[in-house]
A and B are shown apart, each in its own frame.
Chain A
Amino acid sequence: MHAEFISEMFGFSDHLWVSLALVCFLLGSVYSIYLLTSGKLLTSRLTLALIAIGFICESVFLFVRGHAISRCPITNHFELLVFMTWSMVLIYLVVGSAYRLSLMGAFTAPAATLLLLFACFIPEAKPMMTRAKVNPWLEAHTSFSIVACGAFTLACIAGVMYLIQERQLKTRHPSSMFFRLPPINALTVANSRLLWLGFGLLTIGLSTGFFIGADIDWKKAIWSILAWCLYGGILVARWRHAMAPKWIATLSIIAFSLLLGTFWGIRFISDRPSIK
């Protein structure tokens, strides 16, 4: 099926698919917050369904856009954020069902909403059309690095959930939300596995970067290696049991905040545009 046909069939421009995904994630967020705060015995299946529909809409956008520009659709900030959200939701859909952490959706949906909102408000939305030959190493480098960011986002979410549970246990005043979130042991395991997954993907992403063939942008490379070292350090501490799970969860949040903060910083201080 032609990519254009999908959009034409519904009379949508490809941006509308992103808007639809945003609406789904927003509704999922509102419903999740209602579930968590009301203490009602309702299932989170609706949140999961909304997230899944949002994911499908994003997939259609990426397919249509990728077909239009004949390359992986990560050529500007807008596409980058959509791809990052798509990666995060993909990992959530796999991890959520594998580890029975479906309530992670209550936190994933707001994160996806924020990322897409941010994407929709940035001006640079036109796809970067280029006649340059597609470099598979560059494509692999960017896509693996962004999927790694998706895994780190979820590790951060699992860390936030862990700290909420831990805090409630320590204060001895657990709220109704405490009994609805997953057990802290399950969150420790999920946080750790997501960090390993993200680290593995980031390692592949950085390694492929050395085969792109162009001159290395050292400012960007140093920042990326620093992020890799930070996550590596957290994982070594986890592996050697040198830190309590509380500190691993805290560090996964700090590391992700730094990653996100420096991600845009790198792009501004970098010598050349990183995505072509």
Chain B
Amino acid sequence: MNIFCFGISYQTANVEVRERFAVTDSALNDSLGRLLLIPQIEEGVLLSTCNRTEFYLVSRDSQLAIEPVFCNFYPTVEPSDYKQLFCLSSGSTIRHLFRVAAGLESMIPGETEIFGQVKRAYETAAKFGTTRKVLNKLFQKAFQVGKQIRSSTGITCGSVSVGSVAADLAQQIFGKLSGCKIMILGAGDTSEKTARCFQSRGAQQLFVSNRSFERAATLAQSVGGRAIRFDDWEAEFRDLDILVSSTAAPHAIVTTEKLEPVLRTRRDRPLFIIDLAMPRDVEPAVHELDGVYVYDLDSLQTIAKWTMEKRRQKGEACNGLIEKHVNEFQDWLNRSRESIAPSAVIECSRT
């Protein structure tokens, strides 16, 4: 038995080509059924996400060409597009699947969504009867490797978007966000994304203020918060824990002069200010005040980039671990080659 992987991903093709090869969830069963009609194929799993469409195949043939296999599978695809498909065999296929399951081949290294997508793809194929001994073992091993890499290397640590970095920092200041009072100043797209990040981390007391009260009310409604008139936001400052500011004001609206008297009445509670505006809404000197932490767009993006770089480095450090598992699987495959009989299930399905 030989293992192959044919596919297309964000690394090899642009979105226009990828969408021609994509297989929607509703078409997955039909596609697996058609996969079985290809005579050379013994087992198959189809993984289709927004960033990749990949076929994991097992064949008795030692070589599989892409075009003959797929000419009936993708009748609308132009032959020139086949050039953008990648073709892997034996060890490279095993290595690739392990890396995909661990999130090492994802746009954001270490992202965990792909693990669930690989699992769903395998479960669908197993349910449909297109997997047997080899792919069952291969995918179980891939899940084991994915879990091991995630738990032992910390590749999923840290956030890579501005909103989630801000939420991470807030949690390292306050602990649970459920008791924190959060004010969103400005109702633009950035504010909304950040508000949603806080909401997803358990924040319950969200207040939105904007020059246009209607926009503030709309955002407040969508994030389960309360809208406040722009003239009144300073009155709420005394009880605030987190301020997310992204107004279009041409000058700083939060200054040391305004803050110092407020801080005296706040006792020991820290104040976390996220300044997402350009030009900045918060005077730089505010960060020097005791118990006040101001993070602007640049500082949040620096942390996000640093996390991304750390994840890449950790991903590279996983190579040894992956190779160990690849060798283990290849040893098992070599030992099992003799005992694997042609699939009765698949033969039955074909008839």
Contact = CB atoms under 8 A, between A and B. Distances in A.
Contact of A165 (B158, B172, B174): B172
Contact of B290 (A42, A181, A183, A246): A246
A165 B150 CA distance: 26
B157 to A, nearest CB: 6
Contacts of A42: 152
Nearest to A171: B299
Contacts of B270: 184-185, 245
Contact of A185 (B150, B158, B175, B287): B175
A181 B154 CA distance: 15
Nearest to A245: B268
A173 B153 CA distance: 21
Interface string B112-156: 000000000000000000000000000000000000001111101
B295 interface: yes
A196 to B, nearest CB: 15
Interface in A158-200: 165, 169-170, 172-174, 176, 178-179, 181-186, 188
B171 interface: yes
B178 to A, nearest CB: 13
A41 B158 contact: no
Nearest to B290: A244
Contacts of B153: 40-41
Contacts of A170: 287, 293
B181 interface: no
B302 interface: yes
Given A41-B152, A169-B293, A185-B270, A176 B310 contact: yes
Interface centre among A178, A179, A241 (most CB of B within 10 A): A179
B324 interface: no
Interface residues of B, number: 29
A184 B172 contact: yes
B202 interface: no
Contacts of B173: 169, 183-185
Contact of A183 (B174, B293, B306): B174
Contacts of A40: 152-154
Interface in B24-83: none
A188 B173 CA distance: 10
A41 B169 CA distance: 18
Interface centre among A170, A184, A185 (most CB of B within 10 A): A185
A39 interface: yes
Nearest to B158: A179
Contact of B302 (A165, A172, A183): A172
Interface in B260-287: 267-270, 287
Contact of A244 (B150, B291, B310): B291
A188 to B, nearest CB: 6
A172 B166 CA distance: 12
Given A244-B290, A244-B291, A185 B154 contact: no
A239 to B, nearest CB: 11
A178 B171 CA distance: 11
B168 interface: yes
Contacts of B295: 172
Contacts of B171: 183
A178 to B, nearest CB: 6
Contacts of A245: 268, 270, 291
Nearest to A184: B173
B318 interface: no
Contacts of A38: 154
B154 A241 contact: no
Given A39-B154, A176-B157, A183-B174, A169 B169 contact: yes
A164 B80 CA distance: 58
A179 B157 contact: yes
Contacts of B310: 39, 176
A182 B152 CA distance: 21
B274 to A, nearest CB: 12
Interface string B217-242: 00000000000000000000000000
B151 A41 contact: yes
Contacts of B172: 165, 169, 174, 178-179, 181, 183-184
Contacts of B156: 41
A248 B150 CA distance: 39
Contacts of A178: 172
B303 interface: yes
Given A165-B172, A178-B172, A245-B291, A172 B299 contact: yes
A176 B150 CA distance: 16
A227 B261 CA distance: 34
Nearest to B168: A179
Contacts of A186: 175
Given A39-B157, A41-B152, A241-B267, A174 B174 contact: no
23 contacts: A39-B157, A40-B154, A41-B154, A169-B169, A172-B299, A172-B302, A173-B303, A174-B172, A176-B158, A176-B310, A178-B172, A179-B168, A181-B172, A183-B172, A183-B173, A183-B175, A184-B270, A185-B173, A186-B175, A188-B268, A241-B267, A244-B291, A247-B290
Given A173-B302, A241-B267, A245-B291, 12 more contacts: A38-B154, A41-B157, A165-B172, A169-B173, A170-B287, A170-B293, A172-B302, A174-B172, A176-B157, A181-B172, A185-B173, A185-B270
Interface of B: 150-154, 156-158, 168-169, 171-175, 267-270, 287, 290-291, 293, 295, 299, 302-303, 306, 310
